[in-house]
Chains A and B, each alone.
Chain A
Amino acid sequence: NAGVTQTPKFRVLKTGQSMTLLCAQDMNHEYMYWYRQDPGMGLRLIHYSVGEGTTAKGEVPDGYNVSRLKKQNFLLGLESAAPSQTSVYFCASSNRVAAKNIQYFGAGTRLSVL
């Protein structure tokens, strides 16, 4: 039972390079989310999706783009990486049960931008 899988686990980029982080879930969840975690700041929502083909901005969306072409996948793109995007990125998914939103997380991607 894989749950939420993130690839890659680690990546080092140079400033200005681009990359895509992949999130895949096998729980048939409607909702998917991308967060970043920085020291002392908890988890901050970057973008989220309430269903296939839909995306919306979260708390810190600048510098990122997302796509949800298939229900099970949620991609996070960095078009031109900056040192401020050095962080640990987590993907999560949940069912469309508004009263009880338990999100399930992947293991994270550690990104360093030099």
Chain B
Amino acid sequence: DQQVKQNSPSLSVQEGRISILNCDYTNSMFDYFLWYKKYPAEGPTFLISISSIKDKNEDGRFTVFLNKSAKHLSLHIVPSQPGDSAVYFCAASARETSGSRLTFGEGTQLTVNP
């Protein structure tokens, strides 16, 4: 079963506008959530994270929101820039999980048009 799901395979926005990427999860034991960004022919790079004790975390143009009751998190990018065009992966982990393993979503391809 897919415990972390990103329902939108792709998203296209205009430069300067807001990009909103969504992620849903089913496992109530998840207590730490991360977003990774991936450019073609490169490995994923860590972008931003949030603990389940918070509902918002901000880092520059990037903000992650967590709604525990809905088991939903979102990544907001404001303003969007062409260099933000990449695949974004949502990931989750549970503290008690051996090896602190991450469960990834399928990814969303973001395209920011100049």
Contacts and interface: CB of A to CB of B under 8 A. Distances in A.
A21 to B, nearest CB: 13
Contacts, number: 67
Contacts of B102: 45, 101, 103
B103 to A, nearest CB: 8
B42 A31 contact: no
A45 B45 CA distance: 17
Contacts of A94: 100
Interface string B35-54: 01000011111100101000
B30 to A, nearest CB: 12
Interface residues of B, number: 27
Nearest to A35: B104
Contacts of A99: 31-32, 51, 95
B15 interface: no
A42 B107 contact: yes
B98 interface: yes
Given A40-B9, A43-B89, A99-B51, A105 B45 contact: yes
B99 A56 contact: yes
Interface in B79-100: 89, 93, 95, 98-100
A41 interface: yes
A101 B9 contact: no
Interface in A67-114: 90, 92, 94, 96-108
Interface of B: 4, 6, 9, 31-32, 34, 36, 41-46, 49, 51, 89, 93, 95, 98-102, 104-107
